[in-house]
Amino acid sequence: MTASAASQDTVHWAPGDSILWRYRGIGSDDVHICRPVTVVEDTDELLAVWMAPGTECVKPVLLDGTAVHLEPLATRYTAPRTTARAHWSGAGVLKLARPSEPWSVWLFWDQGWRFRSWYVNLELPRTRWSGGVDSEDHFLDISVYPDRSWLWRDEDEFAQAQSCGLMDAALAGRVREAGAAAVELIGAWGPPFSDGWEHWRPDPAWTVPELPADWDRTPAHTAP
């Protein structure tokens, strides 16, 4: 992992640098999702990264290796878990995040670079550290389509996370507020939806970043 330039408060990475995009469990220091990505752009206003097809990532699984989404919803968040390495299947994903926003926006393409949709992933604003960024996923998401229509995603998981005590009422309220703000942004067709990122393409010279052995290491220093 490399950091190319630094201001007094924030380290910025250069296009082509490899960093880790990670998620910790709610109220936990344990990393359960880790994705090596390539920096596209990193400024005070925006971090844009590319996760290439075939990237080796870390994801949560049940103790017997079963995919989490195959567990019945009633026990999905109480069944014991571990982590496993797996390669990202399908097309790559472009992730866009502005520092203070409690969400990131992901862009998906089908084969042949046919743009499919944006995906608003509601999450804790990311914490930056020398090797990448950390966040906390908040279950509720929004799909946004080229015709500017949108729909909620994973409302059932959001409700179940509250039902089983994983997410308290205060946090759920903040997530709903974040979702409402994101919907307002979609309605106004503000950045990043209006910025033309669907026409972006990765540098063909970039290689797929490797997943380091210490992917779950504790950052020595963090900054917002």
Model confidence over 82-92: pLDDT tens digits? 999 999 988 99
pLDDT digits (tens, 9 = 90+) for 57-91: 999 999 999 999 999 999 999 999 999 999 998 89
In this prediction the pTM is 0.93
Specify the pLDDT at position 221.
Answer: 55
> What does the H/E/C string look like for the chain?
CCCCEECCCCEECCCCCEEEEEEECCCCCCEEEEEEEEEEEECCCCEEEEECCCCEEEEEEECCCCEHHHCCHHHCCCCCEEEEEEECCCCCEEEEECCCCCEEEEEEEEHHHEEEEEEEEEECCCEEECCEEEEEEEEEEEEECCCCCEEEECHHHHHHHHHCCCCCHHHHHHHHHHHHHHHHHHHHCCCCCCCCHHHCCCCCCCCCCCCCCCCCCCCCCEEC
The pLDDT score that the predictor gives to residue 67 is 94
What pLDDT, on the 0 to 100 scale, is given for residue 90? 84
Spell out the residues 6+ positions from residue 18 whose beta carbon is closer than 8 angstroms to its own: 1, 2, 36, 37, 38, 39, 209, 210
More confident residue, 100 or 2: 100
149-187, pLDDT tens digit by residue?
999 999 999 999 999 999 999 999 999 999 999 999 999
The pLDDT value recorded for residue 171 is 97
Which residue's structure tokens are 């972006």?
200
Is residue 30 classed exposed, middle or buried when 0-12, 13-18 and 19+ CB atoms within 10 A define those classes? exposed
How many angstroms separate the CA atoms of 116 and 125, rounded?
25
Q: Give the Cα separation of 71 and 78 in Å (integer).
A: 10
